[in-house]
Amino acid sequence: MARSICTVEPGVARAGEVGTWKFVFISPSHLPANTCLRFDPLSTGKAGEWQLPEASSKAKGNAIWLSLPNGKSVYPKALEIDDQQFVYDFNLPEEVSNGEKLVITIGCPPQKPGQGTLSQSFTQRRKPFHLYVDTKGKGDFKDKDPEIFSLDVRGNKLNNIRIIAPSVVFKNSRFDVFLRFEDAFGNLTGNAPEGTLIELSYEHLRENLQWKLFVPETGFLTLPNLYFNESGTYHLKLKNLSTNEIFTSPPIHCFQEQGNHLFWGSLHNNSSRFQTADEIESSLRYYRDDKAYQFYATSLDESEEATTNDDWKLTSNQVAECNEEERFVTLLGFQWVGEASAEGSRHIIYAKDNKPLLRKKDAKSNSLKKLYSHHSPKELLSIPCFTMAKGYSYDFDKFHPEFERVVEIYNSFGSSECSKKQGNPRPIQANSRKGIAETDEGSIRNALNQGFRFGFIAGGLDNKGIYKDLNEESQAIYSQGLTAILAPEYSRDALFNALYNRKCYATTGARIVVYFNIAGAPMGSELNSKDKPGLLYNRFIDGFVAGTAPLEEVAIFRNGSLLTSFKDQKETFSFETYDDEPLEKAILTPDLDKPFTYYYLRVIQKDGHIAWSSPIWIDYIPEEKKKIRKK
C-alpha cells in the first residue's frame, strides 16, 4: 500500500531564529478539486512558541501559502480552535494527481527577502506539524489521522555557560560540577566557533593546575571529583578565551567539618511549557535537567474539571518513577483552596507515593478540619500560600502546628511577609481590577507575633487554580522563588523531615547561601531559657551570607521589628552580634503561659534578590528563686 511522503526543508531550525520552512507533501492518491487541506502548526502563538504566520497574500514577511504543482500559490483561511490555537485551511482550486508535489511554505515571501517566521525558543526533537486531508472539501476532519511533518529544533549560538555545583561542600570531600553551554534562551547548545576554548579557575587553584575545555556537541559537560582543601566561600569561573567573557558560579561554601547539605528546588511551580497531566514526565525532566532543581513537588488543581482521576493516577506514577535518591527528589502534591480567611489557599504535599487526590467536594476533605482528622502528622504537609492575597487570605486563627509546618512567604505574585507600608520590598499588588490586592489579614509577621510557629519556603510562577487569570497586565509579577532545604542526606525522607523540622529558607530565585544561628542553634530551632539560662541576659547571634551579588542589607528582625542591620556588604559576609536586652523585656505576649521572642534574617542583594531565613524561637521561663535557709 502506497504511503504519503511528508518532508520539511530545511529539516532543522535553531531556537528563536527567523527563517522560512517548506513542508513538502506528496499524496499516494488522487486529490480532486476543492479538497480541503488543514495545516496545524500545533502552536498558540504565545511567547516562546512557534510564531503563527499571517494568512494573507499581503503579509509583509511572516506568511503562509501553498504552492501547487504548476507553481500557482493558494492562500489559506485561518481558523481559531481550542485555546486560541489557529489552523490554516487550504482549498485546492484544481485536482492534483497522485505523486505530484504540494508545498506549504511558512516564512518569507519571495518578494520580501530578509524576513520570515520566528521559530520556537525551546529545543525539541521532532517538533510535529499536522496536515489533515478532506477530499470531500467539507472541512470535516473528525476521526481522521493527520499526516505528520517533523523537524528538529536545536540550540542557537552559545550565549551563556551555566555552572551547576553544590552550594555546600566539606573540606577534602569530592563533588561533581556540571556545565551547561546554553543559547540566549537557556537551551543546551554546542553551536560555538570551532576551536573555542574555555578556561576554568577558582580561589586557591594551584598554579600548576590548568583546566582548558572544548565546547561539547551535546552542550553538557561533567567535571568529576573536584574538592577544596581549605574552608571558605568559592566561586568557579569559566573564561571564554575567544571572547574573554567570564561566567561565574553561584557561591559554594566549604565547611571545615561535615554537616547538613543544602538542596535547592521548588514545592510550588508550574511551567508554561507543560500544561497538562500527560506532560508531567516532560515537566519533571525539565525541572531536573534544564532548571537543575534537586527536588520538585507537583501542584495540580484538585478540581475534577482541571485534574481527572486518570490525570492524578498518571501524575502519581510519574512522580514515583522519577524519584531517584542522590539525583532528583520528587513529591506528590496538589492545590486545595478553602474558605477565605479561615482556610485560604493550600499546597498539600505527601510524604509517600500513590496517595489519593483530596477533592474539596468530597465529604472527607471539604474542610481542613476533616482533612487533618483523616491523616497523621508527618503523612502530609499543608502549606498556606499567598496568605496576604485579598479574597484568598489566611488569618491563621485555626492554625494547626502539626500539619502547617512551613508557610510560603513568597511566590512570583509577591511576598506575604508584611504589607507594602511596613516595608515589603515585593508586595502583592494589583495592576488592574482583574488583579489581586494585598490584605493585612494574612501577614506572616502578624501570625508570628501571635505565637504561631512555621518555617519559610518560596514558590514560583503558577498558572492554575486561583492564579490562572493573573498576568502582567493585571498583576505585579516578580521572579520565580526557590526553596532551600538543609538536610543530612539526599533522599525524599530526609528532605521531607527537614521541612517538617523547619530546616529551610526562601529566596526570590537566587541561590543565596544563608546560615543563621542563635546560641549555636540553627534556623527553625526552638530554645528556652530553662535549658540555656544565659539567654535570659543576652543572645549571641551569628551566621553568614554568601550571595550571588553584593549585599544591600542583612537585617535581623526580632518580633517583627528591625533589631539590627548590616548595610553595603560584599557578596560574602559573616556577622556576629549580641541582643543584650533582658529577655524578660524582649518577649512578646507576657500574659501567656509561654511568653516568647523570635528572630529571623532577611537578606536583600543590590540586584534586588531577597532571602528569608526560617525563624528561631526562644521561650521565656523565669529563673526559680532559690530559698535561703535561716540559721
95-127 pLDDT, tens digit each: 999 899 999 999 998 776 668 999 999 999 999
Residue 206 has pLDDT above 70, yes or no: no
Query: Model confidence at 140, in pLDDT bands (50, 70, 90)?
Result: confident
With CA atoms as reference, report the closest residue to 10 among 123, 120, 107.
107
With CA atoms as reference, report the closest residue to 17 among 155, 167, 161.
155
Q: How many CB atoms lie within 10 A of CB 48?
A: 14
H or E stretch covering 108? none
User: Per DSSP, what are the bridge partners of residue 452?
Assistant: none
User: CA–CA distance from 323 to each of 80, 451, 483 (Å)?
Assistant: 39, 36, 18
* Percent of the chain at pLDDT exceeding 70: 96
Query: Model confidence at 556, in pLDDT bands (50, 70, 90)?
Result: very high
Are the C-beta atoms of 318 and 339 separated by less than 8 Å? no
38: its cell numbers = 488543514
Mean pLDDT of 8-20: 96
Instruction: Measure the CA–CA gap between 496 and 183, rounded to whole angstroms.
Output: 35
Mean pLDDT of 64-72: 94
Average pLDDT, the chain: 93
Mean pLDDT of 232-242: 94
Tell me which DSSP letter residue 475 carries: B
H or E stretch covering 280? helix 280-285
From the DSSP assignment, how many helices (H) and strands (E) are in the chain? 6, 45
274-329 pLDDT, tens digit each: 666 778 898 999 999 999 999 999 999 999 999 999 999 999 999 999 999 999 99
Highest averaged pLDDT of the listed ranges 139-143, 367-371, 460-464: 367-371
Residue 604 has pLDDT above 90, yes or no: yes
Mean pLDDT of 207-228: 88
User: Per DSSP, what are the bridge partners of residue 112?
Assistant: none
With CA atoms as reference, report the closest residue to 383 among 271, 285, 462, 275.
462
401-437 pLDDT, tens digit each: 999 999 999 999 999 999 999 999 999 999 999 999 9
Q: Which residue has the cell 485555546?
A: 83
Are the C-beta atoms of 112 and 60 separated by less than 8 Å? yes
Q: How many CB atoms lie within 10 A of CB 508?
A: 24
Predicted pLDDT of residue 81: 81
**Domains along the chain?**
5-154 (2.60.40), 160-259 (2.60.40.1930), 314-345+371-484+496-619 (no CATH)
* Percent of the chain at pLDDT exceeding 90: 84
Instruction: Measure the CA–CA gap between 23 and 6, rounded to whole angstroms.
Output: 7
Mean pLDDT of 355-381: 95
Q: Which residue has the cell 526553596?
A: 483
